Amino acid sequence: MDIKQARGNQGEVYRDAAAIRQAVFVTEQGIDPKLEFDGEDAQMTHYVGYVAGKPVVTARLNDQVAPAHIQRVATLKADRHHGYAFALLQALLNQLPGQTVELNAQETAVDFYKRLGFKRVGDAFLEVGIVHYRMVKN
């Protein structure tokens, strides 16, 4: 898998990231597009994993806060269970050596993030109508 990254909400990487997020979060999970596309993309770094030139997985990083915050991790439905999200996040985390990183994980993804070294912190909460947990990796 080839991983590309770009800061801001312009260009091919962002367009590919937005298309994956639209397919997964808006179409598949029914999240309101106004909540998914929250106006913060211009300040974020977007990561997209490509397999044979096709964008299949994405994440965005807010590294303007401490701790850095990973958001919007999504893999196209047809491309799940191949390790693409794991590889993308490992590459992203390798760019943040020694830094504390946090994310809000959907309940169904908690075990996935534990395999990357994240620990669940606190109680469940609702975000966009979906149960989430705050997770931290030191």
Note the pTM of the prediction, 2 decimals. Answer: 0.94
Q: What is the pLDDT of residue 23?
A: 98
The pLDDT value recorded for residue 10 is 95
> Phi and psi for 34 in degrees, rounded to 5?
-70, -30
Rounded distance between C-alpha atoms, residue 9 and residue 17, angstroms: 10
Place of tokens 């912190």: 121
Element spanning 45, H or E: strand 45-51
Phi-psi region of 124 (alpha: psi -120 to 50; beta: other; left: phi over 0): beta
Determine if residue 63 is left, alpha or beta; phi over 0 gives left, psi from -120 to 50 gives alpha, anything else beta: alpha
Contacts of 118 (CB under 8 A, 6+ apart): 101, 103, 105, 135, 136, 137
Mean pLDDT of 100-109: 96
Stretch 95-104: mean pLDDT, rounded? 95
User: What number is the average pLDDT over the span 84-95?
Assistant: 97
Please say whether the beta carbons of 110 and 119 come within 8 A.
no
